[in-house]
Amino acid sequence: MIDLIHVTKRFGAATAVDDISLSVARGELCVLVGTSGCGKSTTLRMINRLIEHSEGEIHIEGQQIRAFRQETLRRRMGYAIQSTGLFPHWTVARNIGLVPRLLKWPAAKIQARVEELMALLGLAMEEFAGKYPHQLSGGQAQRVGVARALAADPDILLMDEPFGALDPITRESLQEELRELQARLHKTIVFVTHDMDEALRLADHLVVMHQGRIVQQGRPLELLREPADGFVESLLGGEDRGLKEAALLPVSQRMLPLGPRRLARERIGQQASLREALSVMLWRHSERLTVVDDDDMPVGELSLRRLVGARSDD
């Protein structure tokens, strides 16, 4: 869906992005992560030509981006940023309908799309449609920003630190909503963050950048288990990598069938992470947990020994 081929960006004598190559598959959530100034936001903005690349080629569905008019290219891609970029003097409904209006959609189609997206993002039409950005909480404003980015139903969604200014609870909630949204919509998403926990939680394809170059890329578990160098290992959390890996794996991957023994009193859902299971064990002073399904019915058991045993092949 997106290909960057030996792409370089220079600002005068300074090289911000240095000869990077990257492919993002259709329907994939690709996260660019790294320290401040590593070139991740510059890379994102080159994809929709907010910044022009200096060397190399960028392709969208096999076609060079410079073959498109800038306006046409940008309207094919949703763009969500940390500050939301909402027009303060426009209502929520008008902000969401911006791009469809630019594309001259019929008014009835725009209204239907606004209503659809507000429902999808958990924004009640009767409560929020007529509000202005200053009347929204940070999380609500960010949902409106995402809705606006999705308004013209683009195949590609670019997100530049969209949750960076939010409190931890709201941020975690929106991360979960984004994963659920992606499971339904299957957009191709390029997401920039400096928060490694956020990157690991969201990414199908994780790209670590340092000083303008890509130093490692792959599935999150691959990077956790085999970091390319000391920088990647440190960025991934050093000695905390085991806990970060546990946060990515569900209890269902390590549980055993119910045995003849009496069920453990403490319970945990089968879709909870191994990290959550370890936390429950430590908090409740229990070495065994009963694993339950969505209906709270026992489906297996998890022991401390099993939890810290052989890794899953996933």
Pick from 213-222, 250-259, 303-312: least confident:
303-312
112 and 259 share a domain? no
Angle (deg, nearest 10), helices 138-150 and 107-120: 130
The mean per-residue pLDDT over the stretch 185-213 comes to 93
77 and 101 share a domain? yes
220 and 273 share a domain? no
pLDDT of the residue at 167: 85
* pLDDT at residue 269 greater than cutoff 50: yes
224 and 167 share a domain? yes
CB 182 within 8 A of CB 201: no
Instruction: Take residue 47 and report the two structure tokens written for it.
Output: 């994809």
- What is the value of pTM for the model shown? 0.86
Q: Which amino acid makes up residue 63? A: Q
* pLDDT at residue 24 greater than cutoff 50: yes
Instruction: Take residue 232 and report the two structure tokens written for it.
Output: 């990647």
296 and 210 share a domain? no
88 and 199 share a domain? yes
Residue 182 lies in a domain: yes
149 and 24 share a domain? yes
> In which domain, by residue range, is 163 found?
2-244
* pLDDT at residue 135 greater than cutoff 70: yes
11 and 123 share a domain? yes
Residue 168 lies in a domain: yes
Domain count, the chain: 2
Residue that finishes a domain, picked among 192, 210, 244: 244
pLDDT in tens, 64-113: 999 998 888 888 899 988 777 889 999 999 999 998 998 899 999 999 99
User: Using CA of residue 164, residue 165, residue 171, residue 176, what is the dihedral sign?
Assistant: negative
pLDDT of the residue at 314: 42
